[in-house]
Structures are given as C-alpha cells and as structure tokens.
Chain A
Amino acid sequence: MKEYKTVTQIAGPLVFVEKTEPVGYQELVNLVLYDGTEKRGQVLDTSDDIVVVQVFETTTGIGKDTGIRFTGETIKMPVGRDMLGRILSGAGKPKDGGPDIVPEKRLEITGAAINPWARGSPRQFIQTGISTIDATNTLVRGQKLPIFSGSGLPHNEIALQIARQAKVPGSDEPFAVVFAAMGITKEEENQFMADFERTGALEHAVVFLNLADDPAVERIITPRLALTTAEYLAFELDYHVLVILTDMTNYCEALRQIGAAREEVPGRRGYPGYMYTDLASIYERAGIIKGKTGSVTQLSILTMPGDDITHPIPDLSGYITEGQIVVNRDLHRKGIYPPINVLPSLSRLMNLGIGKGFTREDHKKVSDQMYAGYAEGVDLRGLVAIVGKDALSDRDRGFLEFADLFENRFVRQGHDEDRTIAESLDLGWDLLSNLPEEQLVRIDRETIEKYHPKYRKASTGA
C-alpha cells in the first residue's frame, strides 16, 4: 500500500493531504506516526488536489511527517456470533483482554436504508415492568423510543431497569442487548457493567465503550458499529435485539466539532445543518423486516442541555424517533422514581401493540383517561397557586387529588419492581375510581362496567 507524506494542514480532527492518487469518498485511512503507532480516519472530501481525512482519534502526534495510507475500501466491521458477551472499544477493538472477533462477515458500518416495502409493522408488546411506559407509553418490538433526560437524573437506572425487565410475555425467542456508550464517565460505565454482571446480562450482550476521555471523533463510528452488530444479530441470526445508545448528546457534540473544523455554515445553535439527516441514519436503523424473525429495538438516551426539549438535539431526535420517554427534574426532586413525566412523553407505535389480543381491551381507554385526568390536575395546580384551593369546585378538587395519587402510586415504583401490564392497568383503574364516574368521559359505559373497581367488587362479592 502506497504511503503519502504530503500532509499540508491539520485542523481539529481533520487532516488535509495533497497530491494523491484518486482516493474514494469515505475510504478508510490509516495514519502512521513517526513512532510507528497507527491511527484511523475516513475520507470526507476527495478531489484531484486535496483529500480531507477525518481522524477518529486525537490528532496528537500527527504532523507533516505522518504517513497516510489509503486502504481502498470503506469502513467495514467484522461480525460473528462470538461477539455476544464481549466488551469492545468505541472503535470496535477488544477491550476485555479477549481474542479478536472471529469474523463470519465483514459489513459496511454505514448500513443501507431498509427498503420501506420490506419493513414489517412493529406491533409486539414489550413489557418493561414500568407502569408509565407499559400502560401509557407502550414500547413495541422494532420501535425506536429514546429517553429524554437531563444531567444528574436517573436515566441510566431507568435504562438498566428496562434492560433487566423487558420481555415479550409468553415468548422465549432469543434476545440480545447491544450497548454503546459514547462519552460517558468511568463511573457511569461501572454502573452499567456492574449491573450487567450482577444480572448475567453480559452473556447476551455486546458492549461498545467510548468513554469521556476517549477521542470524541470516535463517537461518530461507535453507534454505527453497534447498529451494524445489532442488524447482524437480528436479521441474520434471528435475535431480538435491544440497542441502548448513550449518550446521544455526546454524539451530537462530536458532530458539531467536525462541522466547525470544516468551517461549514452552521445550522441552529452551531450544530451542522445536516444533523437531522445524520441522526436519521442512526435512529432509522431499527425495525423489523418481513419474513425475518429478529428485530432491532432502539432505546437511546440523551441529556437535554438545560433541560430544554426544544434544543436541537432532543428536537431533531424527537422528529425522527417514534416517541420519547421524558425524565423530569421536578418529579425527581419530589423523590419519585422513575421520574417519568407522561405528559410530554409519547409512544407513537402504542396503538399498534395494545388492546384486545395484544394487552387488554381497556388499555387505550384507561391510558387516555389517566392522561386527561393528570393533565387537568397539573393545570389546576397552577390555578391553586394563585387563587387557593377554596376557590376550586368539587370537580376540580377531585382532579387535583388525582394528579397527586397518580404521581405517588402510578408513576412511583421500586427499582426492582416489575409490574405486569395487568397490574399496571388495574392500578390505573384503582386511581381512576377516586374520580366521580361521570367524569370518566374517555371510557365507554361497557368498559366501565367491566373494569371499574366498583362493579368488579360488586360482581366478585355476589
């Protein structure tokens, strides 16, 4: 392989090389330093005169004496079934002291788009054991449902609880977890790894770790390696794969850094104008394919800078993903775990996976009614702050109390409390029965008569 020593400029993570043979766009590049160490990069822009290489590691040590080798191919990843149970670096190299992956295949990490015609519709209910997800923001297999959180909030605990408890009731198909950390702290890493080891989850997991002190630019490829692995496990080995990507905010920061180094015209708040498209190339790699058994479900975590849901990172994510679970600071301050605020949360695929034959026939109605009741109660809290409780009508006081009950009994649950969907829905009914029956306008008579505790007690009593 020919080696060029024609570096003309180094700016941020970018290295400019001149007078080369024709080099392919997105080609993998090896950079050989004066002391023999190798770094990797990728071609971002190629022309007769100049080639721009984005280096995945720090540019420390790179200079005009660095040898540049173009490999003639785009980045590929070796995959194989012995990846399960392995811990790899953010660049895909073994990090657990184990041997290299025995490649059964080498796959492009960019991953082509699933042809919409080939997609199957995701509708298999995943029970996470968390009421605010299962009952009111149901997750289904093949969905991409991120957790929108803030710094210092217990999103990792929630993600771990989901990873531990998630199951499709009545199914024993093989499952796997692909975990990709981007820029998380050592402490967070320990938290995840300890939990994986404690529960034996590691056996079914492939872990990619790019920590806070690892090169930021490497984060651009980490999620792509993880998703390539997930697609392989799902669509070639028939696993149901849960992918956890954390923290997407760090990924976006890396993207911004590269954009700035290229002196691109920035979009909103300095993030590249193509961030939507770039994020889509990650989030859209979830789903199921007609005629294949496996599935890829994505549960990414992102921390909203300043808890602001309109910040470009959560905003663009929300425009791509199929809903979001929003973790809330006020609930957290009140000591409620998991502090999930259902109001801005949403699962768009919920309607496909619930109801008769999936969960329970009353599911949608109970969920809608709880939303309406809780929203009303939360609004009234604002009013009470101004006019005092006495100015409220009886009806309004009922909703105010409902909101408190909802937070304390429905939202709140233990770290290891694994509620079945029936338990979550029955709990919902218990709380709703504190409201006057004629206020349950979102539920039809027939359903009320079948599930409302008042009638249930009457029928069991008889």
Chain B
Amino acid sequence: MEVKQKKGILKRIAGPVVTAVNLDAHMYDVVKVGDEQLMGEVIKITGDNVIIQVYEDTSGIKPGEPVENTGLSLSVELGPGLLTSIYDGIQRPLQVLVEKMGNFIERGVTAPGLSHDKKWDFKPVVKTGDHIGPGTIIGEVVETNIVHKIMVPPAIGSGTVKEIQSGSFTIDEVICVLDTGAEITMLQKWPVRVPRPVTEKLNPDIPLITGQRILDGLFPIAKGGTAAIPGPFGSGKTVTQQALAKWSDAEIVVYIGCGERGNEMTEVLTEFPELEDPKTGRPLMERTVLIANTSNMPVAAREASVYTGITIAEYFRDMGYDVSLMADSTSRWAEAMREISSRLEEMPGEEGYPAYLAARLSEFYERAGRVHTLNKDYGSVTVIGAVSPPGGDFSEPVTQNTLRIVKCFWALDAKLSQRRHFPAINWLDSYSLYLETLGPYYDQEVSPDWNKLRSWAMGVLQKEAELQEIVQLVGSDALPDEEQVTIEVARMLREIFLQQNAFDPVDTFCDMDKQFAIMKAIKQYSDQAYAAQKAGVMTPQIIGLKAKNDLPQIKFIKDYKPELDRILASVETEFIKLREAV
C-alpha cells in the first residue's frame, strides 16, 4: 500500500472547481483548501488528480497552496437547536455568520450547525437495564414548543442502558452509557448524501392537508408523498411553496431556498415568527428549519443544500414526526450540478446536464416517504419541489425527469398568472396519483359526499374547456341554454373555489370543512339552476341571479357559516320567485 498523504497541494484553480495532487482521498471526503482553509468536497479522482468542489469563493487562491483531507464526509449536526435556525447550504448558521463577519458573507469562516454551549433540559424515557438499539428514543428535550426526541444514533449499535442522566446538558455531554461502553450524547452527525435508515417504507394513505383548495380539493398529496410544481418565472411557485410551508398540517417544515432570491428568505424570516400554526396556535417559525443558499452564494454549496435539508427532514421523521420539505428550486440545484459537471469536462447529456441528472433526482425524491421508524413509530417526509423550466417549456430535462418520479404534478400556467388567477395551477394539466389511496380518508374525515363532489367539479371544468373551444368560434350566445349554465357554474368553480388569495389573512388558509361547504354551495346553485331551466326560467335570469353575487365574499370571512346560510337561503328564494313568475 502506498503511503497515506493527508496533505496535498493545489495544482489548478478554475472557479468553484480545483485540482489537487499528492493527496490521498476518497470520493466525497471533505477537504480544506488553500491557506484560508476553504471547505471543499472531493468529487472526482483521476490518476494523481483529485478534483474538489469548493463551497466558498476561490478568488485569489494560487497553485501550490496546501490542501488537507479531513477524512470525513460532508455531514450535518443533528440535535436540539435545529428548529428556528437558518443555514446556508452546508449548515453554517447565517445568524452566527452575521455576528462573526458582518452583513456580507465573506469566506473562510466556519461555524458549527448547532450551539455547543447552550444547555438543554434532558428528560430520559428509558431507564437503567432497558435494552435499546439504533433509533430508540431515550429521552426528550423541549425545544420551542416541539418535543425534540433524543435517539440512539444508528452507528452506536444495541446494548443495555448502564447509566442515564436527567438534567441540563450541552449536546456534547454524555447523557447515556451502554453496557457495551458506548456513550451517547444529544448530538448526531450524519453524512448528507446517505439516507437515514428506517424499519420499512409504508404506502402513503393519509393526506397532507394544505389548506389550499385546488390542492386538497382536486390534486391532493399524501403525507410522505412527492410533488413537483413546475412553472415559468412569476407564475407562483414560491408563493405556493410558502403557503404550503405555512399551512400544511405537517409537524415540522424544512424550507430550502436553493439558488433563489435573498429577499424571499427575508420574507420567511419576518413572516413566520408572526404567523400562527392553525393547529397549535404557536408561531410557525417554531416548527421550521430554513436552508438559504441564494442564487449569488457559492454554487457548490447550492448543490449540497438539498441534501442538507433532506437529512434534517429525515432526522425529525425518525422521531415520529410528519415532516414536509419544500425545495425552491430543484432546477437551480440541477444547474449547480451542470455547472460543476461542465468544469469537470464531463461528457454532457441532454442540454448540457450531466448524464446522472435523472439518477440524482430520483435518489432525492426516493428519500421521501411514510415510514415505520427504527423506533417503530410512524413518521413521514413529504417532498415538494419547485421546477423552473427555461422559457416555461415543460419538455426540458429537469421537468421531464422529475415528472417520471413524483406522484403529484401541479402545473403552473403563465396564462392564468397573467390574468391574476391565483394559484395559477392549471386544473386540466395537473394530476395527483394519490386520489384513490386517499379517497377513503376523505370519505371518513370530511364527508361521504366529498369524492362524488370532487368528480362532479372536475367534470364541469373539463366540460367547460370543451365548450370554450366552441365559444371561441361562435361566441357564447350561440351555445344551447343548458351549456350556458355549465359555463356559468364552471366560472363559479374557478373564481370562488379555485382562486385563492395567498395574501388575504383569511383566504390564505381554508380548512376542509370550508372547502367542502364552498364546493357544496356551488353544486347547490348548479342543481337549482338546471331545475329552474327545466321549469322554464330564462337562462339570462338564471345566470344573472343576484343572490349568488355575494358568494365569493365568504372566502374572506372567518366565521363564514351564518353568511353562507344566508346567501344560500336567498339563492333559493330568488329561484322560487323566478319559477313562480314563469
């Protein structure tokens, strides 16, 4: 065997990719580059050349400077202190970076992901003599309002508890000793590119309730499911992702700003502490972990950011929580891969993306799922990725490869967003493959009529699309009376049910009862309208029914029930009057 060389020297620097020689390294080892010890990761080894992607700006670095191998893989720190944090792509806490180096992100500054000084109150849930193994929950720490469960790290192995502490500890202090001699602290380190182990993967059959009518109502996603939101710029990917981060009934939210705008992260940082989780009444920030590697931050760290995020999500899943993860935008992640790959002078695949693009995407989404944890609890990670196709053209590689993997497709449409129809999700192009598995849940938890009502609404919307084609040729007055009513009902479904204003304090979140009530109200008008038509009432009178004009307002009323009842009653009275007049 040749002599191990922990230190090598730099041979070439070209942007975020550098080459070192005389360095003994393995793939994905973390290395320190140059005199300033910038953090990097080995991504290719050819002959004597070790190729490294550097997570910080490489300006001024010279050939001949040293490179040192840490022998570790790129890992995150997992333990109390994660919640409410905001990190860059390699888990450096941004708040600490401001304290250390001011308002701009300079390089060469390191900071651990978690505070190693802060003490947490640890309460054990196992006792001396208990047999425990990887993933067993041994105690609890109340972090924000959320109980942070302390687990046996997978690498520790099984054993019998010899000693367990109770009280105030830092994450480095030993809280539990096993008969094997293994010592357990509240800190785990986990390599980001490796999925955390589970007992088994389950079929997702519980919906993630998002409070967004078009999603819950027409294209639902399951807890542990996967969804993609593709759309051109300005069509509403970020607003939708943020709405999901705010209102979905997950217990933990990991939000990754991957190569997007700085101001959007600021928005989350200023809004989330002010908003309440509708389920717990606590500030939303308390259940949130943010990863912000904005478009102008180093591109290699952008590549790492989605792995950092999903590893944190899996860690909370392992405690038995339902976690949802938003990645905005996976296209920027793919572009980071492309940028690095082209610097490696790899053979490019479609549109310059590396040939392994599809594999990386599916490995990532495969880390979603509803699982039986090692501790035999149920937990889930739901993954929702934004996709930013160039020119808004969905035939490009990132969109296409993503669609082959995910089960929900929420297609944003520039035509709708330009008309300020929000969320601009196209109801004809979008789909959810969870409809069937989630059907029974809606049946039991919302109403036995829900699934029927949903099919009815989809039917009307599809019919409208066909009719619109005719209208484009002959004008709407030429349609038969019955179909004019269909057009009117479809318009109501679009404007009242589908449109939802993310910026209205009430409308931004709509619970299942209200969703059901709105849809039912429209169906009721529809039924009465056709009946009136049969009874000889003139179509313009049906369509112009005054009482229904107030219906859209209930979206903006918190205690909507009395008002809705009033409107439905006056709709009915107005119909009766019209029929009497015939």
Contact = CB atoms under 8 A, between A and B. Distances in A.
Interface of A: 22-27, 44-48, 73-74, 108, 110-122, 142, 235, 264-268, 273-274, 276-277, 280-281, 284-285, 287, 289, 292, 310-312, 315-316, 318-320, 322-324, 343-344, 346, 348-349, 351-352, 364, 368, 371-372, 375-376, 382-383, 386-387, 391-393, 396, 438, 441, 444-445
Contacts of A441: 495, 549, 552
Given A24-B61, A287-B263, A310 B556 contact: no
B103 A114 contact: yes
B549 A117 contact: no
B143 to A, nearest CB: 20
Contacts of B7: none
A116 B266 contact: yes
A74 B335 contact: no
Nearest to A388: B475
B418 A343 contact: yes
B106 interface: yes
B294 A113 contact: yes
10 contacts: A23-B63, A47-B13, A110-B59, A112-B105, A273-B338, A276-B259, A280-B259, A315-B391, A387-B473, A393-B477
B240 to A, nearest CB: 14
Contacts of B19: 47
B59 A74 contact: yes
A25 B419 contact: no
Nearest to B93: A117
A235 B103 CA distance: 10
B167 interface: no
A63 B49 CA distance: 32
Contact of B14 (A45, A73, A364, A383): A45
Nearest to B472: A383
A284 B475 contact: no
Nearest to B471: A383
A352 B239 CA distance: 13
Contacts of B292: 116
Given A112-B106, A116-B269, A268-B351, A281 B12 contact: no
B14 A121 contact: no
A348 B63 contact: no
Contacts of A74: 59-60
- Per DSSP, chain A at the interface is mixed
Contact of B339 (A277, A284, A396): A277
A25 B60 contact: yes
Which residue of A277, A372, A441 has the most chain B CB atoms within 10 A of its CB atom? Answer: A277
Interface stretch (B94-102, B439-447, B559-567): B94-102
B263 A122 contact: yes
A284 B261 contact: yes
Contacts of B351: 267-268
Given A27-B60, A121-B266, A273-B339, A267 B11 contact: no
Contact of A277 (B11, B60, B295): B295
Given A277-B339, A372-B419, A391 B61 contact: no
A116 B339 CA distance: 23
B57 to A, nearest CB: 8
A265 B259 CA distance: 21
Given A25-B14, A277-B335, A320 B503 contact: no
Contact of A276 (B59, B62, B295, B348): B295
Interface in B303-354: 332, 335, 338-339, 342, 348, 351-352
B390 interface: yes
Contacts of A311: 391
B265 interface: yes
Nearest to B271: A121
Contact of A438 (B65, B98, B390, B549): B549
A79 to B, nearest CB: 15
